[in-house]
Amino acid sequence: DAKTTQPNSMESNEEEPVHLPCNHSTISGTDYIHWYRQLPSQGPEYVIHGLTSNVNNRMASLAIAEDRKSSTLILHRATLRDAAVYYCILIGGGTSYGKLTFGQGTILTVHP
Amino acid sequence: NAGVMQNPRHLVRRRGQEARLRCSPMKGHSHVYWYRQLPEEGLKFMVYLQKENIIDESGMPKERFSAEFPKEGPSILRIQQVVRGDSAAYFCASSPRQENNYGYTFGSGTRLTVV
């Protein structure tokens, strides 16, 4: 699977928007871009995913660059509960079903 | 609609004992995936099972570890003769079919401590 690069950590203030970047310059045409997060002492939680177009759901928005070599997870109004490790993961077809490769992720700190 | 259920939440075993971790997938899901998270490390894929079949066990240690997903009942991850290095959080996820255009739901995990 193609590799992703994320900043080690980011900080935000409560109720402000947060933009979490992810670079994936070697992405292939069939790779989906997934975002998960993990709160302390909990299992990973699915946030959002997309292929080419920008995506919105109740949790966040995903902005995908036109060349698909980067993407940004957008939390529109950060809350203290959003403090977690965020993982950007590429999942391709073929034999990669369910085989998510979790990197170091971005540790998001939200200040009150 | 219950999510992915794992039990027990915490498990303590002495070195040399066996550990059995259970994972009940979401209703209607026939694909289960196990992951391990060692202390201060990221999650690592272990095994992917479909009902009564092991599809991909490329992340499973070669010895002492086994997994099954019988026709009836939960998926079981079994660790024989546990050692201190097996202490970790074990998570499972499930899906209704094989596809990557799907957001996987994870359970809350089993935290295994070997003493």
Q: Which of B95, B100, B108 sits opposite A32 (nearest CB)?
A: B100
* A41-50 pLDDT, tens digit each: 899 999 999 9
Query: Which sign, positive or negative, has the C-alpha torsion B54, B85, A37, B25?
Result: positive
The mean pLDDT of A85-89, rounded to a whole number, is 96
Cα B23 from Cα A109, distance rounded (Å): 31
* Percentage of the residues of chain B whose pLDDT score is greater than 90: 83
Q: Are strands A9-13 and A106-111 parallel, antiparallel or unpaired?
A: parallel
Residue numbers in B near A102 (CB within 8 A): 35, 42-44
Residue A30: the pLDDT is 86
* A5-48 pLDDT, tens digit each: 999 999 999 999 999 999 999 998 889 999 999 998 899 999 99
Compute CA A27 distance to the chain's CA centroid, rounded to the nearest angstrom: 15
Whether residue B103 and residue A102 make contact (CB cut-off 8 A), yes or no, is: no
Reduce the secondary structure of chain A to three states and give it as a string.
Answer: CCCCECCCEEEEECCCCEEEEEECCCCCCCCEEEEEEECCCCCEEEEEEECCCCEECCCCEEEECCCCCEEEEEECCCCHHHCEEEEEEEECCCCCCCCCCCCCCEEEEEEC
